[in-house]
Amino acid sequence: MKLTILFGGASFEHEISIVSAITLKGKLSGFDLSFIFCDQDHTFYLIELAKMKATTFSKGEYKKMHKLSISKGGFTEKSMFSSKEHTGVFLNLIHGADGEDGSIAALFDFYAIKYIGPRIDASVFSYDKRYTKWLCNARGIKSLKHEELSSIEHDNIKIPYPVIIKPARLGSSIGVSIVKEEGELDYGLDSAFEFDSSVIVEPFLEGVKEYNLAGFMANGEIHFSIVEEPHKEEFLDFEKKYMDFSRSERALKADISDELESKLKKNFVKVYKNLFEGALIRCDFFVVDGEVYLNEINPIPGSMANYLFEDFKVSIELLANSLPHTKRAKVNYDYIHSISKAKGK
């Protein structure tokens, strides 16, 4: 099966996307695999398989490789006397802006490109943490109470300390900080506002149980990964998450009751159905006093959460063969023809 991985993008998570792509090269070696890199200027390059290593990008060596242009159904590689089409199924592996904010989804939909990844509406509700809260309210999913602050105008927070401050539209724990007392608040807000004009403030629950569950829909049913209990200190900071994005070894299944596993899966289904079809996502949950709370939706998880699946290659094959089809309007100009006929033209 032919599969092309699109990675890079113009975001704060650009380098993490590169790490994810390099990791997947080893996990999907059974595919007819290609890699397309989107640089910070939104130029697309076809990357030679032998050059899929970090220094290719840090040293700018990719600029010597073939440039591509996007076209109906895929990408086109043009030379002086000919052109070559790159089609098939594409996997959106651009983390953060471009990949998770709906930009790539819109581009792929516009050009009728088959792709694995969140569609536009799914991107909107998962990329912005404020909208994720709205989704939780609409679908009966518990989430932590929160406050939304703007860099233009904000008051003192009302949530008791300690709190955790997060940029509203950023992942990988970039710009995230724990504020334990009022004297630390300004620094925490400054750190978050450096990356976004809106931030989310939530209570920081020390020692809370956290569980990760990934899944996707194929052949009309949701296929779940194992449930993982990540090992962390106060929270997963950028350095720990950066290492997490290069994970390839299988994670250990969390030692939890069947009842809790069932609760986590039911909440995952509430998040996924009628919104994330076509994507493999990971949901991060908190468990407080036996109740499940959604912490975060990862619409394009690091290394596609390959480490949570028993057979990741088969999972991607299943998903690639069960992608949603966009119904396109058929334009036949009947209305204009009828007007012209009525006017005798």
User: Both 112 and 219 in a single domain?
Assistant: no
User: Is 307 within the bounds of a domain?
Assistant: yes
User: Both 168 and 272 in a single domain?
Assistant: no
Count the Cβ atoms, other than its own, within 10 Å of residue 42.
Answer: 12
Please give the single-letter amino acid code of residue 291: E
CATH label of the domain that carries residue 266: 3.30.470.20
User: Is 327 within the bounds of a domain?
Assistant: no
User: Is 311 within the bounds of a domain?
Assistant: yes
- Give the model's pLDDT for residue 55: 96
* 164 close to 176: Cβ distance less than 8 angstroms: yes
User: Both 47 and 113 in a single domain?
Assistant: yes
User: At 200, is the secondary structure helix, strand, or coil?
Assistant: strand
The secondary element (H helix, E strand) that includes residue 201 is: strand 198-203
User: Both 262 and 184 in a single domain?
Assistant: no
User: Both 261 and 179 in a single domain?
Assistant: no
* 205: nearest Cα among 319, 287, 313: 287
- Give the model's pLDDT for residue 248: 63
Give the range of the structural domain holding residue 299, as residue numbers without chain letter: 124-142+206-320
CATH label of the domain that carries residue 99: 3.40.50.20
More confident residue, 316 or 154: 316
User: Both 192 and 137 in a single domain?
Assistant: no
Give yes or no for residue 243 having a pLDDT over 60.
no
User: Both 230 and 182 in a single domain?
Assistant: no
The predicted model scores a pTM of 0.90
Strand partners, 68: 44
119 token code pair: 């569609």
User: Both 154 and 278 in a single domain?
Assistant: no
Q: What is d(CA 243, CA 1) in angstroms, rounded to the nearest whole number?
A: 29
- Give the model's pLDDT for residue 244: 58
User: Both 129 and 230 in a single domain?
Assistant: yes
User: Both 80 and 157 in a single domain?
Assistant: no
* Gyration radius (Cα) of the chain, Å: 22
User: Considering the chain, what is the average pLDDT of its residues?
Assistant: 91
CATH label of the domain that carries residue 198: 3.30.1490.20
* 314 close to 321: Cβ distance less than 8 angstroms: no
User: Is 88 within the bounds of a domain?
Assistant: yes
152-12-113 Cα angle (round to 5): 110
* 25: nearest Cα among 315, 313, 258, 314: 313
- Give the model's pLDDT for residue 247: 64
User: Both 266 and 136 in a single domain?
Assistant: yes
Q: Phi-psi category of 246—alpha, beta or left, where left has phi over 0 and alpha has psi -120 to 50? A: alpha
User: Is 335 within the bounds of a domain?
Assistant: no
The number of distinct structural domains making up the chain is 3
Q: What is d(CA 142, CA 292) in angstroms, rounded to the nearest whole number?
A: 7
User: Is 306 within the bounds of a domain?
Assistant: yes
Write the pLDDT tens digit of every residue in 214-240: 999 999 999 999 999 997 665 555 455
Write the pLDDT tens digit of every residue in 15-38: 999 999 999 999 998 899 999 999
Q: Name, in order, each residue with C-beta under 8 angstroms of 160's C-beta and a sequence gap of 6 or more.
A: 203
Please give the single-letter amino acid code of residue 80: M
* Structure letter (DSSP) for residue 152: S
Mean pLDDT of 103-113: 97
The answer to whether the bond into 162 is cis (omega within 30° of 0) is yes
User: Both 37 and 151 in a single domain?
Assistant: no
